[in-house]
Chain A
Amino acid sequence: MEKKTSPLRSLCIALAVIAALVIYAYGFQVTKVSLEETSNPIRQERFIRILRALAKPDLITYEKEEFIVEAPIQIPCPTGGAQSHAPDTSKPYITVTPACAEPKGEVTIEGFNFEPNTNGPLNFIPPSGVSLKMESIQTDSSGHFLITTNLPKRPSDEVQTIRAITRRNLGAPHFSRNAIETWEKIVETVFLALLATTFGVVFAVPLSFLAAKNIMSPINSPLTSVALSILFLPTGLALGWQVSGKIGELSQTVGDSVPINLVGVVLIPVILWYAIRWALPPVEETTPAAALRAARLTVLLFALLLVIVFLFLLANLAGLMGNAVIASLGAFGFLGKFLASLGELLRFSITLISALTGAGIVNTIAGKLGQNIAEKTSAPVNRIVNLTLGALAGAVLFALIGAGIDWLYELENPFYTFTLPSLIGAVAGFITASALSRNATLPIGLVIYMVTRTIFNALRSIESLVMVIVFAVWVGIGPFAGVLALALHTIASNAKLYSEQVESIMAGPIEALTATGANRLQTIVYAVIPQIVPPFISYTMYRWDINVRMSTIIGFAGGGGIGFLLQQNINLLNYRQASAQMLAIAVVVASMDYLSSAMREKAV
């Protein structure tokens, strides 16, 4: 086939080439690409100096012994001629010829009896006592050196001094101060990354299910249930919060007594075990009677309260024991401190967990109640209930959002932050309720999915380097701020990665388990989790790898770790010290890379 070249096509190509040229030319100009700068001799010299400094990381030093040998010099020559100087030739000595000279005049300096093969500076000491470096000296194998150099332009009436210093290494080499600091900081960096990854993953794993479409989209509820849940959710939160607060106060009365705390921590699980065994029979062939179910629910509620008591006592005990053993453990005192911190953390999170549990329980009850109302009431009653509940729930939801806005912007105008949102919410709820037919359900799972996704995407787009600035304001500059920033970023990005893995699992096993009568929770435990374990491990390792790399620079923004040290040394032009830190980063990142890929291979 003959190839046709249309002139228009050629023209287009020519135009495209010209356009590309223009784009790159502009790019060169904007980014100030300049070959002149790179060939500038002064800049080249500086660059080479830095490269040479970087090639000699400051890691090892020796104890040094200094030999200081001085000789007088007169600038300019006094009228009577220079005073004669007779050095002690049994020791190391230097001679300066001539013994006096004009400023910038040339002199020859010769050294004898020095330690062979040593080096050091040759300094000029004016009357003010400062030390001006003239030359570097290097003795030969017989301890002799000879240098011809120019004197500085420093005339004076007094006799000035030329000082030769040689240094000798004493004993074995040892790590420099910089190396030790670098080691401490790189350890801090690795653990910063480990903690950030752990905290992040702990939250990201459960949240990832909320952001998985295949898990969330089948969740639909009738409007009655959704409205009741919205109405009861704040109540549940407050209830859980209050109850755990009260129990916390109560557990404080036990206070510092280790035996009572210990008895509680041992005894309660035993009680719990029997209570739960009775209340939750493993197999149930028939539907139990209402009275039995009520009794079981009561026992479970009681067990729940006991769990809260248990957690508080455990927190108490951890704090007491941790603080008690700090002193006796000596160098391992940090283990005691860790135990005490864990207790503190536990006490802090119980309130949060019980608030969420309270919300969960009330939510479940509201959902069931709503389901019952939706199924068992006649059409007109159902409609009236739905319209009322819809309006109420809408009002509460929007009022809560209004309260949030009020807190954030400090508007303090109840009309805009309470009355108006409530009204809008009520109307919106009413309209939604009236638009829905009797058997219609709201895609509540999809709504949660969308909201979670949006939050993750927003959080993920903010780099942890930026986040750390906010956290440094909150908890102070240091590694803790870095941990928080990296953890938050880990939550956002890994929850998304995990949720994509959840979405890509095989649907067959889920279908099969649903067919056996397994409920949603059981389906997740038996059909979803086994499928996602390998990719979750793989992504967690990968994230740790990323966090190690991030934590090496998070110090630049106040997040602790080796970055802070590196930045300091670069700013102080201590390139040899900075070089040691760069080397440490390179070693750690390379070994993390190797380790994580090896572990990922094992996991899959």
Chain B
Amino acid sequence: MLSIQHLTKIYSPGGVKALDDVTFDVPKGQFLAVIGLSGSGKSTLLRCINRLIDPTSGAILLDGQDITRANTDEMRRVRRRIGMVFQHFNLVHRSSVLTNVLAGRLGYINPAWSLINRFPKADIEKAKKQLERVGIGDKAEQRADALSGGQQQRVGIARALMQDPDIILADEPVASLDPVLAHSIMQHLEKINKEDGVTVLCSLHFLDLVHRYADRVVALNNGQLVFDGLPSEIDDKKFKEIYGKDAERVG
């Protein structure tokens, strides 16, 4: 159970309020879509949950532990339970696909051993299995930048799965992909959500994807939570509230 309480983030130079007193709960195993315009605070919200960005005030409770107060060691343990998938995949291009996937275990590996690039055999087996699972088992030895966009995002998902995550944060995972690939990636996330019971927080731009995959939607506008409910509840009126009165629906 993830509980976000009065979360506020003010970027220090300029004083932009990216998140303004955001409060909501995410029950375990939910597929939650986060929607809103670009710059509405979706990315900031997701990055506050694993403290890639330090929130200004508020609390984030993960199974009762306040993440915002965790020190470096505690944060390492919290982060390794939260996988993250990025819009631009964020793979290390020059490393092999396998090394990229194994990097998901770094939170568990003793830092001293990772200096000499030593992973336990079990982890290597596991990485190969995860690659099989996302359908690119034959690409393990290739360089990450030799893969197409859709394949790179699958490597990103495999990397997140290596963490044995309780939660996956997906920051616009399909925004750089074509519609066919977008569905394929979303189906992988759905499978992880349904089969493994992993909570998924996924920020999305297209409402048809939200309707198709999400259990629940929260919407941000200018850092404020403007909607929290079922995807089917987003009618034209709600839509205008979320995206502004000049917006028109596409797809």
| Chain A residues within 8 Å of B, Cβ to Cβ | 276, 280-285, 287, 371, 375, 506, 508-509, 511-519, 521-522, 525-527, 530-531, 533-534
- Can you list 9 contacts pairing A with B, beta carbon distance less than 8 Å? A283-B108, A509-B90, A509-B92, A512-B90, A515-B52, A515-B79, A518-B103, A519-B111, A531-B94
Q: Are B92 and A284 in contact, with the CB atoms below 8 A?
A: no
Query: Interface code B107-132, partner A: CB below 8 Å = 1, 0 otherwise?
Result: 11111111101111001000000000
A215 to chain B, nearest CB (A): 16
Which 4 pairs between the two chains have the least Cβ-Cβ distance? A517-B107, A517-B80, A508-B90, A518-B106
Main secondary structure of the interface of A (DSSP, over half): helix
Query: What residues of A have a CB within 8 angstroms of the CB of B79 in the complex?
Result: 514-517
CB distance from B20 to the nearest CB of A (A): 22
Shortest CB–CB separation between residue B23 and chain A, in angstroms? Answer: 23
* Cβ distance B97 to chain A, nearest Cβ, rounded Å: 13
Complex partner residue of B92 from A282, A519, A526, A534, CB under 8 angstroms: A526
Given A283-B120, A525-B114, residue A516 in contact with residue B80 (CB < 8 A): yes
- In the complex formed, the residue of A with least CB distance to B76 is A517
**Which residues B197-220 have CB closer than 8 A to chain A?**
none
Q: How far is the CB of B90 from chain A (nearest CB, A)?
A: 4
Q: Are A527 and B110 in contact (CB under 8 A)?
A: no
What 17 new A-B contacts, CB under 8 Å, besides A283-B110, A516-B107?
Answer: A280-B110, A282-B120, A506-B93, A508-B90, A511-B86, A516-B79, A516-B103, A517-B80, A517-B106, A519-B72, A519-B76, A522-B114, A526-B95, A527-B92, A527-B103, A530-B92, A534-B94
Bound form: Cα–Cα A25–B207 in Å:
74
A534–B95 Cα distance when bound, in Å, is 12
B67-111 CB mask vs A (1 if < 8 Å, else 0) is 000011001111110111010111111110001000111111111
Nearest-Cβ distance from residue A348 to partner chain B, whole angstroms: 25
Q: Which residues of A contact B83 (CB under 8 A)?
A: 515-516
- Residues from chain A with a CB closer than 8 A to the CB of B71 are 371, 375
Q: Are B110 and A526 in contact (CB under 8 A)?
A: no
Q: For A282, what are the chain B residues with a Cβ–Cβ distance below 8 Å? A: 109-110, 113, 118-120
Q: Which of A281, A508, A530 contacts B88 (CB 8 A)?
A: A508
Q: Which A residues touch B9, using CB under 8 A?
A: none
Would A511 and B106 count as touching, CB distance under 8 A?
A: no
Question: What residues of chain B lie closer than 8 Å to A525, measured between beta carbons?
Answer: 114-115, 117
* Alpha-carbon separation in the docked complex, A512 to B72 (Å): 17
**In the complex, how many angstroms separate the beta carbon of A454 from the nearest chain B beta carbon?**
25
B200 to chain A, nearest CB (A): 15
How many Å lie between the Cα of A276 and that of B112 in the bound state? 10
Residues of chain B from 33 to 88 with CB closer than 8 A to chain A in the complex? 50, 52, 71-72, 75-80, 82-84, 86, 88
Contact B120 A512 (CB under 8 A): no
Q: Closest A-chain residue to B117, C-beta based?
A: A525
A511 to B90, alpha carbons, bound, how many Å? 8
Q: Does B153 sit at the interface, judged by CB under 8 A?
A: no
B146 to chain A, nearest CB (A): 14
Interface membership of B163, Cβ < 8 A: yes
Roughly how many angstroms separate A282 CA and B78 CA in the complex, as a whole number? 19
| Interchain CA distance A515-B53 in the complex, whole Å | 11
Task: Tell yes or no: B154 within 8 A of A by CB.
Answer: no
Does B50 contact A515, Cβ atoms closer than 8 Å? yes
Chain A residues lying within 8 Å of B52, measured Cβ to Cβ, are 511, 514-515
Given the contacts A512-B159, A514-B52, A517-B76, A526 and B106 also touching, CB distance less than 8 Å: yes
- A267–B11 Cα distance when bound, in Å, is 57
B94 neighbours in A (Cβ, 8 Å): 530-531, 533-534
Q: For residue B76, which residues in chain A have a CB less than 8 angstroms away from its CB?
A: 517, 519
Chain B positions within 8 Å of A527 at CB level: 92, 103
- Chain B CB count within 10 A is highest, among A283, A516, A534, for A516
Given A517-B77, A531-B94, residue A526 in contact with residue B108 (CB < 8 A): no
A506 to B93, CA, bound (A): 10
> With the chains together, A280 CA to B115 CA distance in Å?
12
Q: Is the CB of B159 within 8 A of A516?
A: yes
User: Are A513's CB and B106's CB within 8 A?
Assistant: yes
> With A and B bound together, what is the CA distance between A526 and B159 in angstroms?
13
Asked whether B84 lies within 8 Å of A512 as measured between CB atoms, the reply is: yes
Q: Cα distance A509–B93 when bound, in Å?
A: 9
Interchain CA distance A518-B100 in the complex, whole Å = 13
Q: Please determine whether B120 and A513 come into contact, CB atoms closer than 8 angstroms.
A: no
Complexed CA–CA distance, A320 and B106 (Å): 43
Closest residue of chain B to A281 (Cβ to Cβ) is B110
The chain A residue sitting closest to B156, CB to CB, is A512
Q: Contact between B99 and A526 (Cβ–Cβ < 8 Å)? A: yes
A68 to B88: give the CA distance in the assembly, Å.
89
A513→B105 CA distance, assembly (Å): 10
Please name all residues of chain A whose beta carbon is closer than 8 Å to the beta carbon of B106 when the two chains form the complex.
Answer: 513, 516-518, 522, 526
> How far does the alpha carbon of A280 sit from the alpha carbon of B76 in the complex, in Å?
17
- The 8 Å CB contact of B114, one of A511, A526, A534, is A526
List the A residue with the shortest CB-CB distance to B119: A282
- Nearest residue in A to B89 (C-beta to C-beta)? A508
Which residues of the partner chain B approach A285 to less than 8 Å between Cβ atoms? 108
Our pick among B86, B115, B119, B120 for the contact of A508 (Cβ within 8 Å) is B86
Across the interface, which residues of A come within 8 angstroms of B91, CB to CB? 509, 512
Q: Which residues of the other chain, B, contact A514 by a CB distance below 8 angstroms? A: 52, 79
Closest partner residue, chain A, to B104 (CB atom): A516
Q: Point out the residues of chain B lying under 8 angstroms from A522, CB to CB.
A: 106, 109, 111, 114
Shortest A221–chain B CB gap in Å is 11
Give the residue of A506, A517, A530 whose beta carbon is less than 8 angstroms from that of B163: A517
Query: Which B residues lie within 8 Å of A283 (CB)?
Result: 105, 108-110, 120, 123
Contacts of B115 in A (CB 8 A): 521, 525
CB A250 to nearest CB in B, in angstroms, measures 27
A515 touches B82 (CB 8 A): yes
Question: Which of A512, A519, A526, A531 contacts B86 (CB under 8 A)?
Answer: A512
Q: Is B163's CB under 8 angstroms from A516's CB?
A: yes
Chain A contacts of B162 at CB under 8 A? 516
- Residues of A with C-beta under 8 A to B90: 508-509, 511-512
Task: Across the interface, name the chain A residue whose C-beta is closest to B88.
Answer: A508
Q: How far is the CB of B205 from chain A (nearest CB, A)?
A: 19
What is the bound-complex CA distance between A280 and B112, given in angstroms? Answer: 8
| Shortest beta-carbon distance from A164 to chain B in Å | 75
How far is the CB of B83 from the nearest CB of chain A, in Å? 8
Tell me the nearest residue of chain B to A513, going by C-beta: B103
Taking CB atoms, residues of chain A closer than 8 Å to B78 are 517
A534 to B143, CA, bound (A): 15
A508-B145 Cα distance, complex, nearest whole Å = 14
> B77 to chain A: closest CB distance in Å?
7
Task: Give the chain A neighbours of B104 by CB distance below 8 A.
Answer: 516
Q: Which residues of B contact A515 (CB under 8 A)?
A: 50, 52, 79, 82-84, 169
Q: Which residues of B contact A513 (CB under 8 A)?
A: 103, 106
Residue of A284, A506, A511, A530 near B110 (CB, 8 A) is A284
Q: In the complex, what distance in Å separates the CA atom of A282 from the CA atom of B71?
A: 22
* B37 shortest CB reach to chain A, Å: 22
How far, in whole Å, are A276 and B95 apart by their CA atoms in the complex? 28
Query: Least Cβ distance of A518 to chain B in Å?
Result: 4
Q: How far is A527 from B86 in the complex, measured between Cα atoms in Å?
A: 15
Please indicate the chain B residues that have their CB under 8 angstroms from the CB of A530 in the complex: 92-95
Q: Is the CB of B113 within 8 A of A280?
A: yes
Compute how far the CA of A522 lies from the CA of B104 in the bound complex, rounded to whole angstroms: 11
B119 CB contacts on chain A under 8 angstroms: 282
